[in-house]
Amino acid sequence: MASHVSVRDSLSRERLEHWKLNTEVIQTFDPVFSLIDNEKKYLSSKNVFVIVPRKNSSATFQNRARELLDSRAWDEVRILSMQPDDPEECVLCAQLTTHAANVRVVPVRLLPELAMHIAAGTTILTQRYHAALAALALGKAFEALAQEEGDKLSELTKYQGHSQQCLRLVRDGEAALRGWLERRSSSC
């Protein structure tokens, strides 16, 4: 019943195109990206490792976090909990704190908080889409471990180091959506 659909990744676009809907599908980048781009004011000279798990982070993710924790002496380690009230995520974060010194779990509920902590990071490991998106927008190197092949996290890793290309995709997507809305309103 939708008059238009916008999607963030090619897998979603392909899926919708196979449905053969009478609806225009516009692929754009996540609009949150352009909001994060404006948050570049947070800087740090410390060697900070930022880990952003999910409550159900895979064993592969947890093992990679431990490898990176053991790989060097960090000035600080921040584990960002984006669901700090979830008991499963609390347990996982607590388990990760036992593998290094200078570790703290930071509850993150707002986009500016996420941007601030990601910007402070030297190394970012995440299994969360918006943390990878923030790293990309801030021009930070990150490692995102997908939950499954072809998910939105794997799509983001293709753009690492290309934040200007992502901004162009946001602008192109917004322009396509505006054009569609203008065509729609002029035909009414």
Domain range holding 117?
Answer: 36-162
pLDDT at residue 43, rounded to an integer: 61
Q: How many domains does the chain have?
A: 2
pLDDT at residue 148, rounded to an integer: 74
pLDDT at residue 68, rounded to an integer: 93
Same domain, 78 and 100: yes
Compute φ and ψ for 28, nearest 5 degrees.
-140, 170
User: Does residue 58 lie within any of the structural domains?
Assistant: yes
pLDDT at residue 77, rounded to an integer: 94
CA distance 93 to 33: 26
Same domain, 73 and 146: yes
Taken in order 58, 64, 70, 73, the sign of the CA dihedral is negative
Same domain, 9 and 41: no
Same domain, 14 and 62: no
The tokens describing 84, both together, are 């700090």
> pLDDT tens digits for 51-78?
999 999 989 999 999 999 988 889 999 9
pLDDT at residue 33, rounded to an integer: 65
> pLDDT tens digits for 103-118?
999 999 998 899 999 9
Q: With cut-offs at 50, 70 and 90, classify the pLDDT of residue 88.
A: very high
Q: With cut-offs at 50, 70 and 90, classify the pLDDT of residue 15.
A: confident
Helix then strand then coil, in percent of the chain rounded to 5, is 45, 15, 35
Same domain, 117 and 145: yes
> pLDDT tens digits for 153-174?
777 777 766 667 766 777 777 7
Same domain, 125 and 44: yes
> pLDDT tens digits for 16-36?
888 877 777 777 666 666 667
